[in-house]
Amino acid sequence: MKLHTKHSFILASESPRRKEIFSRLNIPFGVQPANIDEKVEGSYTPEDLAIKIANLKAIAIAEINPDAVVIGADTTVRIGKLLLSKPTNKEEAKQFLKLLSGRVHNVITGVSIRGAGISLAFAESTLVKFYELSDEQIDAYVESGDSLDKAGGYGIQTMSGLFVEKIQGDYNNVVGLPISRLFQTLLQLQLIEISKGVN
């Protein structure tokens, strides 16, 4: 299946994981991190918070690229009533993983689409259950340095995927971008089209 678009796309993210996932659409796009302050005042549901930050990222880049379609995204992890973003240091990463050990948590990614007269956002949620983790497993993973740039302190696509007992929902959403839902949304908005024929 080939896709085509008349629009210029920009992914407002510095995440190599989001870049890799978005590239599966096989349409031209640029990458331009928003570098915004992600601290948001007020009380939000996890879904609304992820959408709020995704919107801030997309708006910041759309304002300086008015002719482009900008995609912003933000991922957070909810365990009980707690929201876990990116850990600030190794000790916090270990605390996050101890919280997740043996329990079900919710990975939520907000996605914002801005440009070409479009202003739309949605949130996708995936349930993830971890095995019981030993201190040895947690310490070894955190010492690898992999946990510090990832919401919840882990990346399902790396070695910490070995901690996952099961998931319910979109795997790519846990990695950082629910590409299937984004694909369907871009089709519905007619921002991308499926090429006809066999060329």
Structure token pair of residue 185 = 């949304």
- Counted residue by residue, the chain has a size of 199
The active-site residue out of 48, 74, 146, 149 is 74
Contact 60, 52 (CB under 8 A): no
3-state secondary structure labels for all residues of 59-74: HHHHHHCCCEEEEEEE
Known catalytic residue at 37: no
Q: Which of 40, 103, 101, 98 is nearest to 74 (CA)?
A: 40
Q: Which residue has the tokens 């096989």?
A: 26
At residue 30, the 3 state secondary structure works out as strand
- Alpha-carbon distance of 64 to 58, in angstroms, equals 10
Show which residues are catalytic.
74
